Structures are given as C-alpha cells and as structure tokens.
C-alpha cells in the first residue's frame, strides 16, 4: 500500500502527514504537487491524502480554488475507481467543494480560530483525543442530507466529551449534530476536521491518531505490522 500526499500552494500540514506515515507508521509515501495529473503509480488499494493548511490562501472560500487544481480531476477519477481518499481539515473543505462529499464547512460559530485538543468518537464508540486547528470547520448540511448521512452510517466521527457524551459543550465549532468527520456511500472517501497526523508520535505523548489512520485506511495486514 502506498500513500500520496498532495501539496497545494498554502498547504502547511503536508510534511506532518508525510512524517507521520513514513516514520510513525512505516509506510511508503509519495509527495504530489497540485499540478501533477498522473496517478498511474497508485492502485485502488492505495490512498491519496489532502492535508490541512490554507490552500490558495483560503481565497473565495476554503478549498474553492484548490478544487480546480489539475490533480483534483485525477483524484475524482481515482475515487470513482475505488481508490481511497482522506481529507484532513482543509482537505475536508476541498472534498466538499469537489462534491466528493456532501455539505460544506462554514466559519466557526465562535467566529474565532480554534486550536486545541478535543475528543471525538467513532460509530463503535471508540474515543480519541485529537488536535484541531481551524477557523472554518463547522460542518453544515441541510436536514435531509444529515438524515441520509446518519441512515447510511456515513458519520464516522462526532465531537464528544472525554467520557464519550455527545453534548453541545464538546462541540468546538458549532458543527451540525457534532459531526467531526464523514465518508461517502462507498466508504472509500473520508474526511475529518481534527488532525490525526498530529497525534502519531510517542514524543508528543498521544498516539490516538495512529489508530484512526489504521482503522480508516489500512489493510489488516498493515495494521498488524
């Protein structure tokens, strides 16, 4: 399994993702410039990651310009062929702008940039402590779309307190229904606002991000290495 990490002008978490994958998870990683179009070195068992940052300075809307980068059409085709895609923070915004995922990311309800550790949990009630760092991370979709996401099991993470309670006080940005991450109906395109790559190193005292990456993206063989 290989990972590709896309570098957009303004990306600032691309190297964090590379180092987490290469040095903490011992995976093969290729860096992909946003003007690249050829993804022929990847197969559907591989994964492309859209990292966090401020692609194109967040002009217009977060992710709105990056959506038109040459590599994105190739990524849309790769996803259509079953390839795995993970968008983190700004990558989440890009995937929504590209219509690979429904909904949108709006300015935080507090109207302030938020940078801290939060708790999230998956649909198996596993709780993770993961950093966030965003100003426009409030996931929004209309009620019909939210109902469909929940009915299809597409909500992969929700903000919660340290005991796993999904409460308003644990929601750092005002996201609809405490949603921190979603996937597509085929479960090969994933996105989340928190940064798992920032919780992979033992030196940081938190490796919950390793488990998130493994559980979302990696085969059983790789997980057991």
Whole-structure pTM value: 0.94
CA distance 111 to 107: 6
CA distance 72 to 32: 11
User: Is the predicted pLDDT of residue 27 greater than 80, yes or no?
Assistant: yes
> pLDDT tens, 54-110?
998 887 788 889 999 999 999 999 999 999 999 999 999 999 999 999 999 999 999
CA distance 217 to 167: 28
> pLDDT tens, 114-138?
999 999 999 999 999 999 999 999 9
Residue range 2-223, CATH number: 3.40.50.880
Give 153's Cβ-side CA count (13 Å radius): 5
**Any idea which residues carry the catalytic annotation?**
89, 195, 197
Do the Cβ atoms of 36 and 4 come closer than 8 Å? no
pLDDT-based confidence at residue 34 (cuts at 50, 70, 90): very high
Query: Taking residues 180-196, what's their average pLDDT?
Result: 98
Q: Which two tokens stand for residue 9?
A: 């002008």
The terminus-to-terminus CA distance of the chain in angstroms comes to 13
């Amino acid at each position: 399994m290989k990972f590709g990490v896309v570098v957009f002008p303004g990306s600032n978490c691309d190297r964090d993702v590379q180092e987490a994958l290469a040095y903490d998870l011992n995976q093969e990683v290729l860096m992909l410039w946003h003007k690249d179009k050829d993804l022929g070195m990847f197969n559907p068992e591989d994964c492309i990651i859209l990292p966090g940052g401020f692609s194109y300075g967040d002009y217009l809307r977060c992710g709105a310009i990056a959506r038109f980068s040459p590599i994105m059409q190739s990524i849309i085709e790769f996803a259509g062929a079953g390839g795995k895609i993970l968008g983190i923070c700004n990558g989440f915004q890009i995937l929504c702008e590209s219509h690979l995922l429904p909904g949108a990311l709006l300015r935080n309800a507090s109207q302030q940039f938020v940078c801290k550790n939060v708790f999230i949990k998956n649909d198996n009630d596993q709780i993770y402590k993961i950093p966030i760092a965003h100003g426009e991370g409030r996931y929004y979709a209309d009620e019909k779309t939210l109902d469909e996401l929940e009915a299809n099991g597409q909500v992969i993470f929700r903000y919660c307190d340290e005991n796993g309670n999904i409460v308003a006080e644990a929601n750092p940005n005002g996201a609809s229904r405490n949603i921190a991450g979603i996937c597509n109906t085929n479960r090969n395109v994933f996105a989340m606002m928190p940064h798992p790559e920032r919780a992979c190193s033992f030196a940081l005292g938190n490796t919950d991000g390793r488990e998130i990456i493994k559980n979302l993206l990696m085969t059983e063989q790789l997980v057991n290495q």
